Structure 1
Amino acid sequence: MPRQVNHDERRRQIAEAVWRLAMRGGLEQVTLRQVAAEAGVSARLLQYYFGTRDQVLLGALEILNAEAERQARERMACLGDAPSLRAIVRGVLLEMLPLDEQRRDRHVVYAAYFVRFLTEPTLAAVARAATPELANLVSDLIIRAQESGEVPAGIDAAAEGAFLTAGAEGLQTRVLLGQSSPECAIEVIDRQLDRVFGRQESPDAT
C-alpha cells in the first residue's frame, strides 16, 4: 500500500529548502528549479504546492513566521504561570535578537528576504505589516502595565513601543554582523526596560 503523503510535511520540506538557499546566498537569483533541486522534489510538485516563484517565497516566509511564533510561545511559557508585564515585553524583544542557532538562522533568512521586500509588492506588504504589529503589541503591553501601576502614567506607550522594537531590530543587525555580542544587546534592552518600568534585577537571558 503506497505511503500517504503528509501535505504539511511536504510544504515544510520545500520551505526549509528555501531557507537553506537564503542562508547560503540570498534569494535574488533563486529559481523554482533550484528550490526543487534543494528540496528533492520535481518542479511540477513544487508548483502544485505553492504555484509561482513569488508564491513559493511567500509560502516559505509564512511557514517561517509560524515556526517563529511557535518557538516564541514555548519560550514565553518558560516565564511561569503569571509573568510580569515587563518580563513579557522583554521576551517579545529578545525574540528579535539572534540569541541561539534557531533565532540566528531565522534572522539570516529574513535578511535574505530584505531586498525582495524592497522591490516586490506582494512580499513588501507582508514586511510592512510585521513591524507595526510588534510595535503595537509592545505598546499595548505597556498600556496594561500603566493600568496596573507597573509603568508611570506619563510614559508615551505608542512611542516606546516603536522605539523599543526599532532598537531591537538595530541590535539584531549588529549581533548578526558581529559588531555586538548577544550579551551586550541584552544589556541594552534591559537598560531601556529599566527606563520604562523602573530598575529591576535582570533575569537570565532566554
Structure 2
Amino acid sequence: MPRTVDHDERRSMILEAFMRVAAREGLHAVSLRAVAAEANISLRSVQYYFDTKAGLMQSGLTALEKTSNDRLRARLLALGPGPSVRATLEAYFAVALPTDHESRQFHMLWTSYAMLAMTDPEISDRTFVDGPDRQQERIASLLEKGKSEGDFHRELDGEIEATILISLIHGLGTAVLVGQQTAERAFASFGHHLDRLAEKASGEPCRDQQRSR
C-alpha cells in the first residue's frame, strides 16, 4: 500500500531546501530545479506545491517571519511565568542577534529579501513594514508596562523609545552579521541603553550627565 503523503511536511521540506539554497548561493540563484535537487525530489513535486519561483519566494518570506516569531516565543517561554520587562526586552534583542547558524541565515535572507523587494514587484514590501511595526507596538506596550511598574520614568515616551530600541535591535544585528561588532559588545550596548532608562526612573542622573558635572 503506497505511503500517504503528508502535504504540510512535504511543503515544509521544500521551503527548508529553498532556505538552504538561498542562504548558500543567494536569492538570485534560486530556481525550482535547484530547490528540487536540494530537497532530493523531482521538479514536478516542487511545482505541485509552488507553481512559480515567485510563489516559492513569497512563501519563503512568510516562513522566515514565522521562524522569527517562533524563536521569540520559545525564548520568552524559557524565561518562565511573569518575566520582568527588562528580561523580555533582552529576549527580543537576543533573538534578533545573528549568533548561530540559524539566526545568521535568517538575517542574511531577510536582508536579501528587503533589497529585492525594492525592485521586484512580485515580492511584497509590506512585510518589511508591517512586521517591524507590530514588533515596535509590542515593545512600546512593554515600555508602558515598565512605566507602570516603576522600571522607567513615568514621563518616558514609549513610542519614541520603542523606535530607538527597534533601531538598536536592527542596527546592531546587522553590525554583528558583518563583523563590525561582536555579539558581546552589542549586548553591552543594548544593556547600557536600558540602564539609562532605568536610571531616569530612579531619579539618578544618566552617566552622561554625571560626566558633564
Runs of 5+ consecutive residues of structure 1 not aligned to the other structure: 200-206
- Do the aligned partners of residues 145 and 39 (structure 1) sit closer, same or farther apart at CA in structure 2, a change above 3 Å counting? same
- Is the CA contact (8 Å cut-off) linking 1:32 and 1:53 kept in structure 2? yes
Aligned to 2:96: 96
Aligned to 2:20: 20
Identity %: 34
Runs of 5+ consecutive residues of structure 2 not aligned to the other structure: 201-213
Moved more, 86-95 or 60-69: 60-69
Equivalent position amino acid for 1:2 in 2: P
Equivalent position amino acid for 2:138 in 1: L
5 Å-filtered alignment, 1:81-120, equals 81-120=81-120
State yes or no: 1:144 paired with 2:142: no
Larger RCO: Structure 1 or Structure 2 (Cα < 8 Å, ≥ 6 residues apart)?
1
Aligned to 1:75: 75
Aligned to 1:177: 178
- Is the CA contact (8 Å cut-off) linking 2:76 and 2:88 kept in structure 1? yes
Tell me how large the CA RMSD over aligned residues is: 1.8
C-alpha displacement of 1:14: 0.9
C-alpha displacement of 1:141: 0.8
Aligned to 1:7: 7
Whose radius of gyration is greater, 1 or 2? 2
Aligned to 2:210: none
- Is the CA contact (8 Å cut-off) linking 2:98 and 2:107 kept in structure 1? yes
Q: Secondary structure at the match of 2:51?
A: coil
Equivalent position amino acid for 2:176 in 1: V
Structure 1 CA distance for aligned equivalents of residues 80 and 38 of structure 2: 40
Instruction: Count residues in correspondence.
Output: 199
Aligned to 1:45: 45
C-alpha displacement of 1:19: 1.0
Aligned to 2:211: none
So what's the TM-score if we normalise by structure 1?
Answer: 0.88
Moved more, 137-146 or 101-110: 101-110
Equivalent position amino acid for 1:78 in 2: A
Structure 2 CA distance for aligned equivalents of residues 198 and 54 of structure 1: 49
So what's the TM-score if we normalise by structure 2?
Answer: 0.86
